[in-house]
Amino acid sequence: MTWTKLDKFCLVAAIAALLALIFPLAGVDGDTGKQVAFVGDIPGLAVAMALCVIAGSAFTWLGVGSVTAGMVILAIAVFGCWQAISVLYDYGVAGYAGPGFWLFIASLWAFVWRGIDVIANFHSLDRTKQHLANFVVPVAFGVWLLFVWEVVVSGFGVPQVLLPPPSMIGERFVNSTDILAADFHQTFVKAVLSGYVMGCGSAFIVAIAVDRVPFLKRGLLPLGNMVSALPIIGVAPIMVMWFGFDWQSKAAVIVIMTFFPMLVNTVTGLNAAGKLEKDLMATYASGYWSTLFRLRLPAAMPFVFNALKINSTLALIGAIVAEFFGTPIVGMGFRISTEVGRMNIDMVWAEIALAALAGTAFYGAVAYIERKATSWHPSFRVRRH
C-alpha cells in the first residue's frame, strides 16, 4: 500500500482525535482558577475520542469504499457529536472550550465529510435507494452545519444578542408556535400568495398581449429589464399610503416586484419555439391560438417556470421588508422589526427560520410542478427504455 492510497480524511480524523486526547479539553475558569473539565472525568467523551482514533486509523488503511463503511463512519460521528454537546452543557465546558475540544470537532468534521462524500457518490438503479441517498446527503449536511453552529457559539461563549445557538432558536420556535402561525398566515397566506398569483398571472396575460404588438415587444423588454434591476422594495411606503396597513399593500409591493421578471421571461419564452416548428405549424394552416397553445406556450414553459421560481423568492422578501413600513400588529416582518428593538434575538431568529422554511417549501413546490410539467426538457429527462 502506497502513501497516495491512504484515505486522507480518515487519517486526519485519527490524528486529530489522538491529539484531542492529549491536549486540554477546556480552558481555566476565571473565578476559581481551575481547569474546567478533563477527558478522564468524562467516560462518554473518552470512549468517543478513542473510537475516532481506532476507526480513523482502520479506515485510513481500508479506505471508505462502500456505503456501509460510510454509514459506520457517520454513526461514529453522530455518537461523537452527541458526546460533544453533552460535554458542553452537562460538564460546563460551554464558554471555556479548549484545543482538545476543537481538535475533536475537527476529527468529527473529517469523518462527516468523508461519510457524506461516499453517500453523495452513490449510484443505484434501484430508485428507492437512490432517492434515499439523494435525501440523506443534504439533510446530513444541514444537520452538521447546525451542529457546528451550536458548538462554535456555545464553545466560544458568543453572546446571545450577537448569535444565539440553534437549540435556543428551536426552543423559542416550539414555544411560540401560535405567534408564528399567526404571522405566517398574515404574511405568507394573505400577502405572499395573493400578490404572487396576481403579479405572475397578470404579467403572463400581458405578455401574451404584448407578444402580438411588435413595437411593444421591442420597447417593453429593455424597459422591463431596467425596472427589474431597480430596488422596487423602495415603493413599499408609497404602497402603504395607497392601500393601507393591512396585507393589501404588501400584495401590491409583490405584484410590482414579480410583474416584470414574469413579463420579460414569458415574452422571451414565447419566441423560443424554433423556426422549423413554426414552419411546420404553418404548413398545417394552424391559426394564431392553435399555434399559441400547441407550440409556443409549451416551448415557453421552461422560461415561465424560471420566472415563477425567481418570483417565489422575491415575493417572500418583498412581503417581509414591506411590513417594516407599517402593518397591523401581526406578520413576520413586523415581528422581526419589533423583537429586534426588544433585544429578543431568539424570536427574530425563529421568524427567520420560519421564513427560510416557508421560502424553501414554496420554491420546492414550484420546482416540483416544473419538473412534472416540463419533464420533456433536456435538463430533466432521464433516458429510460
Report the interface residues with other proteins, using CB under 8 A: 274, 276-277, 279-286, 290, 294-295, 298, 301, 374, 376-378, 381, 383-385
Q: Residue 80 Cβ, how far from other proteins at the closest point, in Å?
A: 47
Cell numbers that stand for 113 in this block: 465529510
> Residue 208 contacts by C-beta under 8 Å, 6 or more apart in sequence?
266, 270, 292
Cell of 13: 480524523
Q: Is the CB of residue 231 less than 8 Å from the CB of residue 257?
A: no
From the CB of 303, what's the least distance to other proteins, in Å?
14
Q: How far apart are CA 30 and CA 244, in angstroms?
A: 56
| Phi, psi of 252, deg, nearest 5 | -65, -45
Closer residue to other proteins, CB minimum distance, 57 or 286: 286
Question: At its nearest, how many Å lie between other proteins and the CB of residue 296?
Answer: 11
**Residue 157's CB: how many other CB atoms inside 10 A?**
11
Kindly tell me which of 46 and 295 has the beta carbon lying closer to other proteins.
295
Q: How far is the CB of 274 from other proteins (least distance, A)?
A: 8
Nearer to other proteins among residue 89 and residue 380 (C-beta): 380
Q: Which residue's CB is nearer to other proteins, number 123 or number 383?
A: 383
**Nearer to other proteins among residue 156 and residue 376 (C-beta):** 376
Which is nearer to other proteins, 146 or 295 (by Cβ)? 295
Closer of 171 and 277 to other proteins (Cβ): 277
Query: Measured between alpha carbons, how far is 305 from 200 in angstroms, rounded to an integer?
Result: 11
Q: Which is nearer to other proteins, 162 or 276 (CB)?
A: 276
Q: What are phi and psi of 26, to 5 degrees?
A: -145, 165
Residue 111 cell numbers, joined: 469523518
- Cβ proximity to other proteins: between 164 and 302 the closer is 302
- Strand pairing partners for 97? 26
List the one residue out of 208, 191, 190, 187 whose CA is nearest residue 258.
Answer: 191
Distance in Å, CB of 269 to other proteins, minimum: 13
Compute the least distance from the CB of residue 348 to other proteins, in Å: 45
State in angstroms the smallest separation of the CB of 380 from other proteins.
11
- Minimum CB separation of residue 111 from other proteins in Å reads 42
In degrees, rounded to 5, the angle at the alpha carbon of residue 56 between the alpha carbons of residues 149 and 137 is: 50
Question: How far is residue 196 from each of residues 99, 123, 324, measured CA to CA in Å?
Answer: 51, 38, 19
Say how far residue 315 (Cα) sits from the centre of its chain: 16
Nearest distance, CB of residue 125 and other proteins, angstroms: 17
Q: Which is nearer to other proteins, 185 or 278 (CB)?
A: 278
Dihedral in degrees, nearest 10, Cα atoms 149, 152, 156, 160:
0
Tell me, what DSSP letter sits at residue 41?
Answer: G
Nearest to 164 by CA among 350, 359, 356: 350
Q: How far apart are CA 310 and CA 176, in angstroms?
A: 30
Q: Could you identify the residue written with the cell 485510513?
A: 60
Least spacing, CB of residue 129 vs other proteins, in Å = 24
DSSP state of 360: H
